[in-house]
Amino acid sequence: MQYRTFGRLDWKPSALGFGAMRLPTIDDDPAQIDEPEATRMVRYAIDHGVNYVDTAYPYHRETSEVFLGRALQDGYRERVKLATKMPCWKVEKPEDFDRFLDEQLAKLQTDHIDFYLLHSLNADTWAQVRDKGVLRWAEGALTDGRIGYLGFSFHDKYEVFQEIVDATDVWTFCQIQYNYMDVDYQAGTEGLQYAAGKGLAVVVMEPIRGGRLSKSVPPSIQALWDSAQVRRTPAEWALQWVWNHPEVSVVLSGMSTMGHVVENVESASRSGPGILTEQELALVSRVREAYEALCPIPCTDCQYCLPCPSGVNIPRVFDIYNDLMMYGDENRAHAFYNSFVKEEERADLCIECGECLDKCPQMIEIPEWLAKAHGILCQEGESSTV
C-alpha cells in the first residue's frame, strides 16, 4: 500500500480508502447487507494496508454504520481512521446536531469519530446548518473529543465550494467528486487545487463515476485504452488518473465484491503522484473527448436558456440524458430523473414557446430534445436509444 499526506496533519492515509456505500447485499435489497462477505472485504482491505474507512448516516438505508460497528470489532477499529457524515438535510433544530452524532457513535460502537463530515453540502444545506450554528456546535464536539476533525462533502458549483472553504478555519478536510470526466464539474480541478492550497486534505469520491467508467465500456473507448503501451483496466486508468494528482489525499472506492477490493488494493500499491507519463495523460484526455463525443446534445450548461417560462430545468434534463447516452446506465438515469428532478422542473412541462431557441448559443433544438429526453427518462425499465 502507498501512503500520502493529509493536509496539515502529521498522519499518512492509505492511497485507497474503503467506501461503505456499495457493499454486497442480499436479494438486491440495499438495506440487507451481506454481512459475512462485507466483513471479509473490509478486513481484507485493512489487513492489506487500508487505514481510512468512510460511511454515512443514510448509506444502505441507514444500516451501513451499524454494519461497520460490527465489522470493525476484534481490533480492527483501532487500525483505521473512521469517517462518517451528519445528514444535514435532516437537521431541523440545533439539538439535532447532538442527536445525530450520538446516534452514530452508538451505531458504530465507538466513543469518537476520527473524521466527521457535514454531508452533501450545497448552497441550501450549507445555509440550513450554518444558520443553526453547526460550526459553533462542532467546536464543542471537537473539544469534548467526540469528533477528531471536521470536514464536509460537497455537491454544488465551484463558487459555493469556495464560499464554504473560506467560511471557517475549523475545516481540516473536504470530500469532492472527482474523476477524469469531472474536471469542470462541481468543485472540479479548480476546487481541488483551491482546497489543497488552503491546507485542507482532499478526499475524492466517485473516482470511477459510480462504476460507469468501467462498466459496459463502448468499443471506441476500449480501443483507445488498448492502444496504450502499459495495459490497465478502465477502472485502474480512472483510479491512477486521480492518484496522479499530488493534491489528492485519499481516493474512496465503494467496493461491492471481493474482486473489487483485491484489484483496487493492487492498483493502490502501484499508485503515486506524477506517475503517469505525458503520453498517458494525453490518452486519458482523448478518452474524455471520445466520451463527450457520445453526447447527442451539445449543451455546455451556460444556462442562457434559463429561466424557462414553464420552469423546466433544461440543462439538468440534458445532463442526465447525455449521461445515459455516454454510459448506458439506465437505472441511474431513471432514478436521477424521477427522484432528483422536481416535477415542476421536468421536461414534460415544455410548451414549445420557443423562447429558449433564441437564447441558446449552441443552437440546440431544445423543445425537440426535451420531448425525447422525457420520453426515455420518465419510464423506468424501458430500453433507451438515441
Domains of the chain, residue spans: 16-277, 295-386
Q: What percent of the chain has pLDDT over 90?
A: 82
Peptide bond preceding 246 in cis form (omega within 30 of 0): no
pLDDT at 384: 34
**Angle subtended at Cα 39 by Cα 36 and Cα 40, rounded to the nearest 5 degrees:** 85
Strand partners, 83: 54, 115
Contact 264, 255 (CB under 8 A): yes
Instruction: Report the CATH number of the 16-277 domain.
Output: 3.20.20.100
Average of pLDDT values for 137-151?
97
pLDDT at 19: 95
Contact 303, 315 (CB under 8 A): yes
pLDDT at 380: 54
- How many Å apart are CA 141 and CA 119, to the nearest integer? 16
pLDDT at 302: 80
- How many Å apart are CA 236 and CA 150, to the nearest integer? 30
Average of pLDDT values for 135-162?
96
Cβ of 226: how many Cβ atoms within 10 Å? Answer: 9
Contact 43, 71 (CB under 8 A): yes
pLDDT at 358: 86
- 211-233: pLDDT as tens digits: 888 888 889 999 999 999 999 99
Q: What is the mean pLDDT of the chain?
A: 93
Average of pLDDT values for 237-265?
96
Residue tagged 441550501 (cell numbers):
124
Quote the distance between the C-alpha of residue 5 and its chain's center: 21
Q: What is the DSSP letter of 147?
A: E
- 368-381: pLDDT as tens digits: 999 999 999 987 54
Cβ of 102: how many Cβ atoms within 10 Å? Answer: 11
How far, CA to CA in Å, does 385 sit from each of 144, 172, 325, 373? 56, 45, 8, 10
Residues in the chain: 386
pLDDT band, very low/low/confident/very high, at 386 (cuts 50, 70, 90): very low
pLDDT at 295: 85
User: DSSP of 254-279, one letter per residue?
Assistant: E--SHHHHHHHHHHHHT--TT-S-HH
Pairwise pLDDT comparison (384 vs 379), residue with the higher score: 379
- Determine the 3-state secondary structure of 149 from DSSP: strand
- How many Å apart are CA 218 and CA 216, to the nearest integer? 6
Contact 183, 155 (CB under 8 A): no
φ, ψ of residue 75 to 5 degrees: the values are: 90, -5
- 43-63: pLDDT as tens digits: 999 999 999 999 999 999 999
- 301-358: pLDDT as tens digits: 788 899 999 999 999 999 899 889 888 888 889 988 988 889 999 999 999 999 999 8
pLDDT at 385: 30
Longest dimension (CA), the chain: 65
- How many Å apart are CA 272 and CA 117, to the nearest integer? 26
φ, ψ of residue 252 to 5 degrees: the values are: -85, 140
Average of pLDDT values for 238-262?
96
How far, CA to CA in Å, does 28 sit from each of 32, 34, 128, 231, 256? 8, 10, 34, 33, 12
Cell numbers found for residue 28: 438486491
Question: Alpha helices, DSSP H only, in 7-165?
Answer: 35-47, 59-62, 64-71, 95-108, 123-130, 134-143, 158-165
